[in-house]
Amino acid sequence: MIDLYTWTTPNGRKVSILLEELGVPYTVHAINITKDEQFAPDFLKIAPNNRIPAIVDHETGIQMMETGAIMLYLADKYKKFQGEGAEYWRMVEWLMWQMGGLGPMLGQTHHFVKYNKGKSDYAEQRYSTEAKRLYSVLNTRLEGRDFIAGDGRGIYTIADMACWPWVSRFEWQEIDLAAYPNVLAWYQTIAARPAVQAGYSVPAFTTDVPMP
């Protein structure tokens, strides 16, 4: 059994979507970051960086923080959604792209464009421009492809599951997905998956999956 400590954020949804896709049993523990529950001593024993999500795998005794590490661990444990050989490394490449670029930069876009609009024109322009650049990178990668990693039309991997929840907040980023048709098609394909819809509402329902 896996314990998942999470909240309704893109990072949290990465792992809940993966667990739903894997179809393995897990127990959800809501960590309400709006009430600073991520600073509770018991949670800090699992996630010293006071960030959600985190997991405890009672079968192996492993506890882990950081979404990229968690997703790599689960994909390897269950031998799913990771690809093989060159496909595996392409998956890792794009997972690192999400962790180092897409997530952090879109997170800053949320901060300055959605929550603090009008406070810094420089910051709004900087992060809006970078958000559009990253969407363009993803749009180019998805040209003629259904999924990010793999050969040919691509294979569905944790790279897709890591990127998709951040793109699902396109409205917060003031992004028109129609301007990125390959991203739009990819987004809609993944949004239709039952496991994605289920994982999106962990640990609680907030809204329906946003549809452009």
Which domains does the chain carry?
Answer: 2-80 (3.40.30.10), 86-193 (1.20.1050.10)
The pLDDT tens digits for 77-102 are 999 999 999 999 999 999 999 999 99
The mean of the pLDDT values for the chain is 97
- Note the pLDDT tens digit of each residue in 151-210: 999 999 999 999 999 999 999 999 999 999 999 999 999 999 999 999 999 999 999 999
Alpha carbon 11 to its chain centroid, in Å, reads 5
Residue 53 preceded by cis peptide, ω within 30: yes
Per-residue pLDDT at 116: 94
* Average pLDDT rounded to a whole number, residues 59-83: 98
Helical ranges in the chain per DSSP H:
10-22, 41-46, 67-78, 86-97, 103-109, 121-141, 158-167, 181-191, 194-200
Average pLDDT, integer, range 48-68: 98
